[in-house]
Structure formats: structure tokens, C-alpha cells
A and B are shown apart, each in its own frame.
Chain A
Amino acid sequence: MAWLHTWCGLVVGWVLFFVFVTGTAGYFTYEITRWMEPERPLQGAAPRYDNGALALVAMDRLQQVAPSAEFWSITLPHQSLANRQWVDFSISWETMPLEGHEHGVWGSERLDPVSGNLRTGIEPRETGGGSLLYRMHYALHYIDYQIAYRIVGACTMLMLLAMVTGVITHKKIFKDFFTFRPGKGQRSWLDAHNVISVMALPFFLMITYSGLVFFYSTYMPAGIAAIYGTDDQARGRYFDDLFGHHSHEAVTRPSASVPAMIAQAENAWGEGQVRSVMVMHDSGEEPFVEIARVQGSKLRFFDGETLRFHVHSGELLPPEPEDAVVRKTQEVILALHEGRFAEPWLRWLYFLAGVLGAGMIGTGLVLWTVKRRRSHEATGGHFGLRLVEALNVATIAGLPAGVAAYFWANRLLPVEMAERANWEANVLFLIWGEALLYAFFRDTRKAWVELLWLAAAAYALLPVVNVLTTDKHLGVTVPAGDWVLAGFDLTMLGLGLAFAYMALKVRRVWLKKRVQVSGATRNRPLAEAT
């Protein structure tokens, strides 16, 4: 099992490292996006509105723009836990489908909560934001997403296998957890790899398995194909069976008082707890108004609390039947992966676990080269080893520098630039690619130190770049108490320090040893003393 573990890990290590880095950033998607759109205002105190009056304004507007609709949806201004920010007043709808069409046309408008007119929002700079980083962790970049899903899926499956075989290899897994022998070369790398892997093993198993479950119908289509069929319609039938399918009748303006319904919900849940109002009419059922509570109290995040009222009588209707157990199981698995329910501390724990994941992969990759370097240095170099070493430095030190460069690009590229968001991403990959070239032609140990310093500088200087290019820097955000924006800058400083520490450490261990080692230790094989 040991060699299976080694080779599974090596083949997919770099892709997985990329997936872990971008996916870990994904736990702060919305915070990153806010930082990358500095035109948006600082977070202020939440204003209070009369939600009942807003609902009436919204319905007036919906009657005008969507007289024949499958649903009306009104988002009331609220502090959202789904995307961890203030969500403004808006309406959306879907028109009734035309003859022969399955879906109508979806539309939305942002409304001003004071005047009721259309709201002209701030137009932030064009950016991929946190969501582009997040998307990369399952859809990669530059590649057709259907192909990318499968590449990431195959790598994920190999990671699952690497973990299972890793556990099988380590019979003394408990003892290994408490073993760290620093300063002993290969043995230290092995201990580090073991400690990191065992520490967050439950997280790694969860994140890997749930990642596969996200795309189960792509990765394991056999069940659906054999039982329903392979064409799109058959898949549609499967999902209709699973989620329940309703056809809808056009909605009409509720004659019962919607403000009264909202008041009832606010009584039950507390003020500021109403998120949205939906008007809908499933064919063959009573038309209803559904008041939804701000999400967040549950692990199964999207299964939020709702109250349903009859459109005309205003009577409370029975709630929707609960999801079947299998669906609930799937929802929990996906919820654990996404961690939307996580409050700040738990969110940081997710982040830490993600960093440990990158650490597990990184130490594993380095271990592979350290193990082989000794024998190959004696025989004078080997292309495979050289390639793995270069890919390791470029990915473990160069990719994080590339992510920092993505943020630099957000601040430095001209705001009116065409294809601006694409260029932000291009900068990330240019830096990563250049790191690879550099690592290939430079002495590996020197490349490690230099690229780690590059990453350290790229992160540590970001708050400085922010001061020079925007008015949303630490000098403003800390006094204003905007901890999302301040937190981003501080985290970048922290990452800068972490990379600087690694650079110092690597320099001390790898560069100095080469000078002092000769003669000092007679027992060591000659090759190491070169």
C-alpha cells in the first residue's frame, strides 16, 4: 500500500494543492469580493425599514413589470448570513413560459427602499473577486468546465485513495500523531507529513468525499443512466422525481394583507429576521405567500424557516413536507463541505483545516524528492526528480505568490481596462508559470528560498498597495470598525509573515547545511555532503 500511497499522491499532488489553496480562499469568497470592489461603501449600522410598506411598494412594481408571472419574489433589506453581508431591497420574477417552452424569462430589479424607484447602485470595478478563486477549485481555469470537473474528480478520487492507503500504511497512526523529530532531514519531513495528515484527517476525508458527492451525477452516472436513461430528458425526469416537480399558474396580487403576514413572522422570529416574500401558485394547490426567515440557524443551511399564508384568506397554510432522508443526508454532506453555516470562529477553523490540507499535500510532495535526492545526487541528477522538484517549488511557493498577484492586479490594472477580470486571473497564472520556469533553471534550494521570499513580500506589501491605491485601507477600515476589509489586509500581513518564516527556516536548514556539513559528520553518506 505504501507505493500506491506515494504514487497516487505524486500524480495529483499539484492539482490538489491548487484545489486546496483556491478552495480554502473560498471560505472567504464574499469577504474577498468586498475587498476587490473597493468602490463599495464601508459597512455601516443596519438601517431599519418598515418591511410591510416595502412589500406593498414591491408588489406595485411587480404588477407593472411582471403582470403574468410564475412567481414574484421580494427580497427585503437584511443582514444576510448566506453571503455574510447586507443585502438590499430588490424584486425578481419569472414570466409564464410561452407555448412550447419549459421556462419563462427571469428578471430582477433593485429598488430604493425610501423612494420606491429604481435604485442606481454603485458600479464597482470589473473583477473576478472571491468567486473566481472559489470557482477555480472545482472548474479550474482556461479549460472547458465539463472537462475540468472530471480532472478535479479524478484527482479527488485519487486523494481519497491516497488517504485510505495512507491510513493503512500507518499501523501506528496514534503514535505517529505524537511523533515529531525536527532537524533530521527526511525523517522530519515524514513526521511533519504524518502529524498534519492525522491532525485534520476527519476534515480531509469529509472534504474529499463531499467534493465527490457534489458532482455525483457526473462522476458516477451509471445509476441514473441505467434506471432513467442517458439523454437530457431522462436526467430531467430523475431530478424532477428527486426534487418534486410543480407546474405553476400565473400569480395574482394577494388580496390578504401581506404587511400583516410579515408582522406575524416578525413577531415569531424577531425584528430584522424576515428575509424575503414569495408569491406562488402550484397547479392544483392553493396559491400562497411564503415569508422566509434569514438563514443561518441550521447545518442544512438552505432549509430555512418559512411561514406560508393563503393569498386570499391570509390563513396560515401547513408547511412544505420535509425532504426525504436521503436528500437530507446529501444536504448535510454538501453543507459540511461549503461551511455556510459556520460563524466566524468556525469559519477560521475551516480556513485552518484547508491550509493544513495544502500543508499535507506540500509536505508529501517534498518528502518524495527528499527521499530520492540522496541516491540521485550520487549518480548526478535525474530529469524526473528535477521536474518534480521544480513543480514543487513553483507550486508550493509560486502559486501562493500568484494568488497574491491576483490581488495586486485588482489594485493596479487600470479600472477601465477591457477584459479586466480576465487579466486579473491571467496575472495569477503568469506568476505561477514564471515561478515554474525559474524553479527549473535555478538551483532548487536557492529557488525555494527566493520564491518563498517573493510570496512573503507579495502578501506583506498588499496592505501597502491598498493604502496607495484606495481609500479603504487599514487607516480607515480599523477606526471605522469594518472588520471584513480590515481583516483581509491583516490576513495578508499574516500570510506574508508566515511565508517569511518559511523562507528563513528553509534557508537555515538547506543552504547553510551544505557549507558546514562536510567533515562534521563522518557517518553520513558522501552524497549528502556535496
Chain B
Amino acid sequence: MMTSFSDTARYRWRVASRVLAAVVGGYALTSVVTVLLALLWPLPKAEAVLASSMLSFALYAGVLVWIFAARRLRVVWLGLILATAVCAGLSWLLLPGGGA
């Protein structure tokens, strides 16, 4: 009885963690990729922002599918954090007044 209860609880925590990863982590990653893409796109500034912003929803959908399809939750969180950090770092370097 006890084990089955904690199994359910653990399952629920895992689902909650994945949902959190999708809503917060996935959105954060999509946001920084959007910024990076806008900075890299060889177009006038405003058009690049528009272009990458319009694409962002497809990106987010892809990220969400990956978050829910990946087998291990730890991989999801690690992947999200790493990718977000790398993209954020690159964007910061590319932004005027940033590191570069």
C-alpha cells in the first residue's frame, strides 16, 4: 500500500517537473534562441526581430515535443539549462554594449 502511494506521488512529481520544464524552461530557451536568431539574421534590425519572433512559435512547439518525448527528466533539465546558457551567452556577446 505504502509503495503504491509513493509510486503515484513520484509519478505526479515527475509529470509536474516536466510541465514546469515546458512552461518555464522551454519558454526561456525559446526566448533566448529568438534573440540569438534575430542578432544573427542578416537583415535590418527590426525585420530580423520580426522574422525570428514569427518563427519562435514553431521553435517552441519543437522544444515542447522534445521535453515530453525525452526519456530522462534529468537530460531535459540539463539540456534546457545548458542550451539556454550558451544561447544567452552568445547573444550577450553579440548585443551592442555586450561583451564584444
Contact = CB atoms under 8 A, between A and B. Distances in A.
A228 B51 CA distance: 15
B60 A164 contact: no
Contact of A326 (B30, B39, B47): B47
Nearest to A220: B56
Given A216-B53, A324-B44, A327-B50, A165 B35 contact: no
Contacts of A160: 57, 61
Interface residues of A, number: 31
Nearest to A217: B53
Contacts of B57: 157, 160, 209, 212-213, 216, 219-220
A242 B50 contact: yes
Nearest to A323: B47
A222 B65 contact: no
B56 A161 contact: no
B20 interface: no
B64 A330 contact: no
A57 to B, nearest CB: 41
A242 B43 CA distance: 12
B55 to A, nearest CB: 9
B88 to A, nearest CB: 10
B54 interface: yes
A227 interface: yes
A330 B54 CA distance: 8
B44 A223 contact: no
A216 B54 contact: yes
Contacts of B60: 157, 220
Contact of A223 (B35, B58, B69): B35
Interface string A325-348: 011011001000000000000000
B97 to A, nearest CB: 11
Interface of B: 30-32, 34-35, 38-39, 43-54, 56-58, 60-61, 64-65, 68-69, 91, 95
Given A223-B49, A239-B46, 20 more contacts: A1-B68, A168-B65, A212-B57, A213-B54, A213-B57, A216-B53, A216-B54, A219-B57, A220-B57, A220-B60, A222-B31, A223-B52, A223-B56, A224-B49, A224-B53, A226-B38, A227-B38, A227-B95, A324-B47, A326-B54
Q: List 6 tightest A-B contacts by C-beta distance, closest first.
A: A241-B46, A222-B31, A242-B46, A326-B47, A223-B49, A226-B35
Interface of A: 1, 4, 157, 160-161, 164-165, 168, 209, 212-213, 216-217, 219-220, 222-224, 226-228, 238-239, 241-242, 324, 326-327, 329-330, 333
